[in-house]
């Protein structure tokens, strides 16, 4: 089930809210858990079985690690628990990728390939809840969080339907205490409903409107061109932001209605003036996870400049691979890691002042857009072809399919989406009357988005495939 279908809006969400608020406060964890399992099980009952297995594994190993009497026992139990969780992720997400890579090596050395297929259905949200499980076990091992002794509350916090599929990535310390005493209020409910409507409009009116433009610019049936890939890259960059941040807004809004506060996942990333700053604003929960559990575990910046640069690169390579089982995502991680290394090197070596915004902002956006070529390509060759086209090696003018995809509606969505990226950070500075007017316009815009769902079914969230 998705946030943008009528069955969620008109049935699941109202019923879930009613069950939650009609249940005595001390027992609300029960309907919350049942609703979360139903929400996930409607995708595929086998997905639910896997979620319950990962939940049980994390809970059990958390208890075992907590009760271990020696550091070596804790480390051993942590290793087993993490390996089991990552094994589930590896099997469902990376097994076919590993097999294809191995066969590629066999072919290189003229050896017979393995005649097998491990292609399976990827459970939606698997990368998110496996990482949540790993984070929990590491935190228990480090004694930064107490192992849960309440399996119902642990399962409810682990499977919380608002954030289960697309994040934000949550540590148990962020959500489990809130289930003991949710801060339910009429004001919080209203704020959450407004936040949900904002996310819904971002997804339906901007992200989904741009989807045909992106597909037309990157149509595989004809050669590309500079105009194709730059227009398509810009449109995809805007689409991805409004799609993913729209989901985060809806998740935060639903949680707020239930009296639960989720962390912010975006902080106006396209206003960043460097790739380093971009990664302090984009997908904050993943950035925090990678920094806390990968970068710091590798040594961070504590072992000299060279080790720091390598740690940055390794962290981004893992972040790239987390997004998908394809070498394009590894290259995307290397692209971002390379720029993080370069910016760190220039800062450490030359200590030069930050460039002016008029230069730094377009440069940052160009790096982000070029990096998206890896994200949207099915293989490395396709990505490199887009790079060649971007620098004029495949012609300059829009091709036929791309020109057909350019409409007034889609260009308006692109322009409005870009404008809001730079107006939104100033929203709190607007005069009270203007801010009030914008809130009063939200409801009719939300009704428009609902009408759009009826006219054209909402596209799946882009991050569901990660």
Active-site positions?
323
Nearest to 230 by CA among 362, 74, 91, 126: 362
Q: Annotate 352-404 with three-state secondary structure.
A: CCCCCHHHHHHHHHHHHHHHHHHHHCCCHHHHHHHHHHHCCECECCCCHHHHH
Nearest to 201 by CA among 442, 418, 5: 442
Count of other CB atoms within 10 angstroms of residue 212: 18
DSSP 69: S
Cβ contact 114:85 at 8 Å: no
Residues whose CB falls within 8 Å of the CB of residue 285, separated by 6 or more in sequence, listed in order: 167, 168, 169, 170, 263, 265
Query: For residues 10 and 13, what is the distance between their CA atoms, to the nearest angstrom?
Result: 7
Phi, psi of 197 (to 5 degrees): -65, -40
Q: Annotate 15-33 with three-state secondary structure.
A: HHHHHHHHCCHHHCHHHHH
Tell me: cis bond preceding 168? Omega within 30 of 0 counts: yes
**Unique residue bearing structure tokens 């227009």:** 231
Query: For residues 364 and 458, what is the distance between their CA atoms, to the nearest angstrom?
Result: 31
Query: For residues 226 and 366, what is the distance between their CA atoms, to the nearest angstrom?
Result: 13
How buried is residue 169: exposed, middle or buried, by Cβ count under 10 Å (0-12/13-18/19+)?
Answer: buried
**Unique residue bearing structure tokens 């790239």:** 320
**Unique residue bearing structure tokens 């893992």:** 318
């Amino acid at each position: 089930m998705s946030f943008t279908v009528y069955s969620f809006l008109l049935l699941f969400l109202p019923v879930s809210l009613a069950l939650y608020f009609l249940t005595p406060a001390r027992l609300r964890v029960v309907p919350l858990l049942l609703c979360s399992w139903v929400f996930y099980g409607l995708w595929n009952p086998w997905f639910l079985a896997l979620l319950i297995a990962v939940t049980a594994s994390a809970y059990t190993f958390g208890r075992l690690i907590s009760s271990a009497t020696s550091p070596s026992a804790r480390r051993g139990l942590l290793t087993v628990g993490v390996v089991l969780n990552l094994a589930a992720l590896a099997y469902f997400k990376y097994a076919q990728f590993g097999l294809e890579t191995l066969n590629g090596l066999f072919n290189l050395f003229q050896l017979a390939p393995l005649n097998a297929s491990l292609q399976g259905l990827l459970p939606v949200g698997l990368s998110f809840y496996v990482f949540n499980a790993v984070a929990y076990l590491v935190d228990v091992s480090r004694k930064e969080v107490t192992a849960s002794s309440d399996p119902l509350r642990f399962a409810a916090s682990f499977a919380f339907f608002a954030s289960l599929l697309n994040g934000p990535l949550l540590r148990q310390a962020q959500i489990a205490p809130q289930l003991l005493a949710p801060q339910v209020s009429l004001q919080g409910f209203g704020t959450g409903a407004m936040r949900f409507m904002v996310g819904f409009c971002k997804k339906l009116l901007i992200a989904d409107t741009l989807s045909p433009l992106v597909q037309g610019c990157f149509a595989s049936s004809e050669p590309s061109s500079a105009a194709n890939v730059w227009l398509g890259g810009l449109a995809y960059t805007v689409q991805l932001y409004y799609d993913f941040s729209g989901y985060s807004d809806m998740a935060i809004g639903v949680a707020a209605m239930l009296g639960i506060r989720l962390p912010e996942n975006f902080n106006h990333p396209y206003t960043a003036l460097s790739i380093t700053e971009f990664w302090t604003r984009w997908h904050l929960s993943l950035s925090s996870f990678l920094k806390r559990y990968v970068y710091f575990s590798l040594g961070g910046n504590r072992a000299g400049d060279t080790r720091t640069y390598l740690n940055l690169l390794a962290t981004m390579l893992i972040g790239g691979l987390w997004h998908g089982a394809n070498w394009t995502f590894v290259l995307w991680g290397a692209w971002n890691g390379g720029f993080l290394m370069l910016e760190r090197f220039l800062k450490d070596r030359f200590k030069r002042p930050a460039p002016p915004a008029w230069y730094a902002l377009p440069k940052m956006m160009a790096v982000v857009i070029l990096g998206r070529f890896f994200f949207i390509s099915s293989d490395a060759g396709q990505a490199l072809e887009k790079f060649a086209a971007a620098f004029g090696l495949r012609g300059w003018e829009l091709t036929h399919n791309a020109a057909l995809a350019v409409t007034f509606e889609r260009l308006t969505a692109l322009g409005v989406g870009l404008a809001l990226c730079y107006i939104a950070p100033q929203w709190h500075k607007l005069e009270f009357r203007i801010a009030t007017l914008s809130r009063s316009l939200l409801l009719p815009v939300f009704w428009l988005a609902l009408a759009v769902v009826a006219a054209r079914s909402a596209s799946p969230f882009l991050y569901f495939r990660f």
